[in-house]
Structure 1
């Protein structure tokens, strides 16, 4: 075979490979979309057989494209989490103030989770255990990247909020480093408990939950009362958190 023939053969082979790769990518997206609809309707405990039946295909097709259920969870998680991240960023960009930015991000997170609690649970859990505590599973890496990104996004409006309130200089840098991850942990834990709470008088609305979480993030669990407002000298407002050994003598 001469050089021209070899070049033409290689080009034809590359063309077939590209078309096959594009076909697989399109088919994979369609399977993820079908699986997402199935989980939304059937629940986060839906089996691969349930999902395949709802998608009008065979279980072996899902195994061929995703390996196992954890692989499907990871693939669906990448899509869902990417959409959530985009919504959070968009919400933060449109906010007028740093505090509004935090509130907008909390609201976007809760709304996305509430839109389909079954899908949210499916992609943030790999079973009874939290995926974040299962480092060996590939789906945990997707979640870790997601919560790292959300933590970083929360850090920026919080630092602006503290600066606008004149508080940034009073908080040590390590606190600002740890706060975002603690914040997203609180939002996630409270949000998931809220999702699991049956409708009724003990379940806040999404707006109420958003306001409550934003208040916890910015002001803490109790309102901040100045010494003057409390009618006490400033030195009497500080409470010792570590007992003095002399108190026991």
Structure 2
């Protein structure tokens, strides 16, 4: 995920009153120039302005960290906290909106990676790379949208959404050449497999990023067992020294070959 740096656009005043709505949906105009036509224009402006605020907030979180307060986000986006609350209701709503934007980028990247892959193993490797790139390119934004708590009431969960994307990528391999929709057993296997894939990749990716950040802060900060310069520091430093390709290769081998396959590979290298 590449941090967004566009400057928010300028439109009608944020404090303008919205047009009447029916069940949360703006009534669309049947005739040009009608009152509903004005409602449509307001809805379009509000949607555009909301997207601009999401991009600006993403940029602020990227630079300031996941704990940045709403007051600071508002100031950096050139608006006020009360205006932000009109668009997002609360910080959890903003987390959800930023999360959806990140998911849209990741979803497209996963689709592109899966389409370019030559086989099931390559598809898994490509998906792992996409996830690692998302986390590595902006760990602050990643933490902002994956934190549990109030945001879970607004967004079903970033990780669960990613698992759905993985299911879509795995189904062709699980279904094989047969036509027609997958049966319940195939869907169950895909969802279980996807949950395992995301859980493993998520945990490993977060450990990797944490160790990289700790290593950048200075000696003795790397994550791991032990404090004050010991085996834990050495392990954290070794994890931090891995590049994205190395981490992706490890994860792909574990996911594809399993523990037995990885052990066999290690023994072959030693002989």
TM-score bucket (shorter structure): 0.7 to 0.9
- In structure 2, which of residues 168, 172, 191 is the aligned counterpart of residue 153 of structure 1? 168
Matches of residues 185-200 of structure 1 in structure 2 within 5 Å? 185-198=199-212, 199=215, 200=237
| CA drift at 1:221 | 2.9
Q: Equivalent residue of 2:118, what SS?
A: coil
Partner of 1:244: none
Q: Equivalent residue of 2:239, what SS?
A: coil
Larger helix share, 1 or 2: 1
State the alpha-carbon separation in 1 of the partners of residues 248 and 148 from structure 2: 27
Matches of residues 44-59 of structure 1 in structure 2 within 5 Å? 44-59=66-81
| CA drift at 1:29 | 0.8
| CA drift at 1:96 | 1.4
Could you list the structure 1 runs, at least 4 aligned residues long, displaced by more than 4 angstroms after superposition.
7-11, 172-177
Is the counterpart of residue 101 in structure 1 residue 101 in structure 2?
Answer: no
Task: Report the CA distance shift for 1:57/1:159 in structure 2 as closer, same or farther (over 3 A).
Answer: same
**What are the superposed Cα offsets for residues 48-80 of structure 1, whole Å, 9 maximum, x if unpaired?**
011111112111111111000000001111111
Partner of 1:19: 41
What stretches of structure 1 of length at least 5 have no aligned partner? 1-6, 164-171, 230-249
Task: Report the CA distance shift for 1:210/1:93 in structure 2 as closer, same or farther (over 3 A).
Answer: same
> TM-score, normalization: structure 1?
0.73
> TM-score, normalization: structure 2?
0.67
Q: Equivalent residue of 2:259, what SS?
A: coil
Is the counterpart of residue 201 in structure 1 residue 216 in structure 2?
Answer: no
Structure with higher Rg: it is: 1
Asked if structure 2 preserves the Cα contact closer than 8 Å seen for 1:74 and 1:138, the reply is: yes
State the alpha-carbon separation in 2 of the partners of residues 177 and 59 from structure 1: 40
State the alpha-carbon separation in 1 of the partners of residues 195 and 94 from structure 2: 27
State the alpha-carbon separation in 1 of the partners of residues 201 and 173 from structure 2: 14
Alpha-carbon RMSD across the aligned residues, in angstroms, is 3.0
Asked if structure 1 preserves the Cα contact closer than 8 Å seen for 2:111 and 2:169, the reply is: no
Matches of residues 1-249 of structure 1 in structure 2 within 5 Å? 11-126=33-148, 134=152, 137-139=153-155, 141-143=156-158, 146-156=161-171, 159=174, 178-198=192-212, 199=215, 200-203=237-240, 204-223=242-261, 225=264
Q: Equivalent residue of 2:258, what SS?
A: coil
State the alpha-carbon separation in 2 of the partners of residues 178 and 106 from structure 1: 17
